[in-house]
Amino acid sequence: MAASKLNVVNHPLIQHKLTLMRERDRSIKSFRELTNEIGMLLCYEVTRDLPLEMVDIETPLMPMKAPMIAGKKLTLAPILRAGVGFLDGMLAMVPSARVAHIGLYRDPKTLQAVEYYFKAPQDLSDRMAILMDPMLATGNSACAAAALLKSRGARDIRFVCLLAAPEGIAHFQREHPDIPVWTAAVDEKLNDHGYILPGLGDAGDRMFGTK
Which spans of this chain sit near ligand URA (rule: CB under 6 A)? 82, 135, 137, 194-196, 199, 202-204
What minimum distance in Å lies between the beta carbon of 167 and ligand URA? 11
Which is closer to ligand URA, CB of 44 or CB of 195? 195
Angle at 134 between CA 43 and CA 71, to 5 degrees: 30
* Residue 133 bears catalytic tag: no
Alpha-carbon gap, residue 185 to 160, rounded angstroms: 11
* Residue 106 bears catalytic tag: yes
* Residue 26 bears catalytic tag: no
> Is it true that the peptide bond before 106 is cis, omega within 30 degrees of 0?
no
Single-letter amino acid, residue 2: A
Angle at 18 between CA 13 and CA 24, to 5 degrees: 145
Write down the catalytic residue from 107, 110, 123, 178.
Answer: 110
Cβ(128)–Cβ(94) below 8 Å: no
What minimum distance in Å lies between the beta carbon of 193 and ligand URA? 8
Which is closer to ligand URA, CB of 137 or CB of 160? 137
* Residue 202 bears catalytic tag: yes
Name the helix (H) or strand (E) containing 64. strand 63-69
Write down the catalytic residue from 47, 98, 106, 156.
Answer: 106
Cβ(73)–Cβ(124) below 8 Å: no
Write down the catalytic residue from 26, 47, 98, 202.
Answer: 202
What minimum distance in Å lies between the beta carbon of 140 and ligand URA? 10
Active site residues: 106, 110, 202, 205
